[in-house]
Amino acid sequence: MAILSSPLQFVTSTPPATRGLAITTVLLSLTYFWIRWHDTEPLPTTPYLTLVPGASLFYPWTFLTSGFVETSIIELVFSLLVVPASFRYLERLWGTGETLKFIAINTIIPNLISFGLNWIEFLVLRNADLFLYGMEYHGQMALQTAALVAFTQVIPEHQVQVFGVIKVRVKRLPMAYVGLSNVMVIIGYQSPWLNIQWGWLVAWAYLRFYKKNKGDGIVGDSYGDRSETFAFVHWFPPFAHYPVSLICNLVESIFKKLRLLPTPTADVESGGYTLLPGGTRAEAERRRALALKALDQRMAAAVAPPPEPSPAPRPPPAAATNLPNGPPSPVASKTRAVERRTSVSEVDLGESKAKARGKDDA
């Protein structure tokens, strides 16, 4: 009974959006397996479940449903191990509504971009069998990358173990996944590995500019995370920061002129005249930096060897306690010498008187 209650307790304690995501993934993936099991066609024959660029215009819901269909057992097991656990944490942090919005955005928009790119490739290369009907976009690779980007924003310095061997910080994982995507696309596996790159870009743009952050009674609602540590240039090595920053500033200025970006929140503490990057998020970041600094100082103090105890002072000799402080004065030395001489003469005089009495008695 205890064995059965533990998984049941885990399922019931999972937030509703994450639970619905896992159940939908299992149901749609099993439906896909059942259809393919009874089908012998080599080309994709489920355009009503997965995204096939040449047929999705007639099945527009596949821009969403394809993100919940895994086409192999390995992909399904991996997604069920990674995605629900990740969004279980994020949903408790963001809430159910914001989590559902994040899932929908990072599923539909990457599929739309891949769909448009395939049509551009077809118009240029005129190969419909490959670009329109030979590729099938599916799975949660974009959603997995989006979760990694969200963790980079929330816990960038947290260290995890990959396969129980490699230790890496959370902020390094998204670009490692994007690098794997680049390799797979170059060797010819555009579908579905290309969605990893779109998931990374869409998730960062949404969290940077559009995600709504609820304020308190003093600071109102804000949008995005404008902090320096979450800037786009920090996804790249230092030598690429300058050219990437020029491109980012140009794109951001265009988006601002088109009024596609929300206005950042003003800093209330400075009277509303300057912009506070990130609003309440920046304040939390500063507090976290101070806490990490204090923790490092405590750890350094704990690792440092304790100082050696100084030897206890020896008590002064008993005879020395009766002596006056400092060297003896010459007057005192002379007085003691006179006293010694006087006492010797007195002894000699006493002895001579005793001998004289003895002679008289005789």
pLDDT tens, 224-265? 888 888 999 999 998 999 999 999 999 989 988 888 888 765
Whether this prediction's pTM lies above 0.85 is answered by no
pLDDT (0 to 100) of residue 355: 54
- 55-73: pLDDT as tens digits: 898 999 999 999 999 999 9
What residues form DSSP beta bridges with 167? Answer: 161
Q: How far apart are CA 230 and CA 285, in angstroms?
A: 11
Domain boundaries, the chain: 7-210, 215-295
- 324-348: pLDDT as tens digits: 454 555 444 544 544 444 444 444 4
Tell which residue, 144, 117, 154, 152, has the closest CA to residue 199. 144
Dump the DSSP string for 173-212.
Answer: HHHHHHHHHHHHHHTT-HHHHHHHHHHHHHHHHIIIII-E
Residue 51 is given by DSSP the state B
Region 38-58: mean pLDDT is: 81
Check pLDDT > 50 for residue 80.
yes
Share of the chain above pLDDT 70, in %: 68
Tell which residue, 152, 141, 246, 254, has the closest CA to residue 207. 152
7-210 CATH: 1.20.1540.10
Q: How far apart are CA 77 and CA 240, in angstroms?
A: 37
